[in-house]
Amino acid sequence: MSTIEDTDAEQARLLAAAQGGDRAAFDALLAPHRRAVHLHCYRMLGSIDQAEDAVQEALLRAWRGLGGYEGRAPLHHWLHKIATMACLRAVERRERLPAVHAEIAHLQPYPDALLDELDPALVVERREEVALAFIAALQLLPPTQRAVVILREVLSWSAAEVAALLDLSVPAVNSSLQRGRAALRAHTARPQRPLVYYEQELLQRFVQSWQRRDLDALAALLREDVILRMPPEQVEIIGRTAVTQFFATRPAGGRLDLIKLVETAANGQPALAAYLPDSTNTCRGYGIMVLSPTPQGVAEIIGFPDPELFRWFDLRQEAGAG
């Protein structure tokens, strides 16, 4: 028997056991699909915490509805249907749709370590679909249009499949997709990504300049039109001079040398975890900065002042003062 046949037989065994009430079999059956479903929910919601909540809801509904699964569509397809509807319900519970990037208060980064659980070749090939700018732009779309774009453009569902799930006509799906594409183009610039070694060098120089409080060197790494955002605050600082001035006066009162930076990665982009010292000289987690590098320098910095994010990055809440 071939490996594929072995896998199919094992999946059939797990499905039968799960439909018979075996929760361990259900968990094993869904385990290969969980990260992909989680990433789907993150694209829909823009928040890793809210994505986890949506996944938990979807898994509960999948467990309760597994008896009705007849295998006419692949299991991962069925799971994405359930997860999409869970996300749409979550979006409905929000107060209002943000109109501009600065209003996306719920935006959070997605650790690369979690992306590594997926097919690495596919993630590299389509990394613009996990980029923070793309995730943010999706949040500006109306919920149903957002679902259409993700299902059609990212998951490659047919228009008929999307129409059946969202209770739309095929022409309505196609129209929504066209409007969604146009909105994404308007909200998402597609700067040329530099080579990986350049990104690594840029990040190292950023850290070195930061820790030396060398503002001129730090400014030289930024594009003239660089943008700094800090959700959930509705803050948007634009331009090299303004961003450099912010760094010179705001973080730790401008004492950048007191802030310990640890390299990490999020959304397929270089990122930094920031630690601030307390009265005992213990550096405690403060937040995550995600950088958008281009051949001309850093185009965007999004800071997330939320130490609770550290658990997703498998980072310690404390680090020795450097």
Residue 313: CATH number of its domain: 3.10.450.50
Evaluate whether residue 120 is within a structural domain: no
Residues with Cβ within 8 Å of 295's Cβ and at least 6 positions away in sequence, in order, are 192, 194, 198
Q: Give me the pLDDT at residue 322, please.
A: 45
Last residue of a domain, one of 39, 66, 94: 94
Cα gap 80→150, rounded to integer Å: 11
| Span 81-91, average pLDDT | 98
Q: How confident is the model at residue 95 (pLDDT cuts 50, 70, 90)?
A: confident
- For residue 109, is the peptide bond before it cis, meaning its omega torsion is within 30 degrees of 0? no
* Number of domains observed in the structure of the chain: 2
Evaluate whether residue 135 is within a structural domain: no
Are 149 and 181 in contact by the 8 Å Cβ rule? The answer is yes
Are 292 and 298 in contact by the 8 Å Cβ rule? The answer is yes
Residue 196: is its pLDDT beyond 90? no
Q: Please report where in the chains the tokens 């850093």 appear, as a residue.
A: 298
Pairing of strands 222-229, 297-304: parallel
| Span 225-229, average pLDDT | 98
Evaluate whether residue 289 is within a structural domain: yes
Range of 13's domain? Answer: 1-94
Evaluate whether residue 161 is within a structural domain: no
| Span 155-182, average pLDDT | 98
Pairing of strands 260-266, 297-304: unpaired
Phi first, then psi: give them for residue 177, nearest 5 degrees. Answer: -65, -45
Helix (H, G, I), strand (E, B) or coil at 140: coil
Last residue of a domain, one of 94, 120, 143: 94
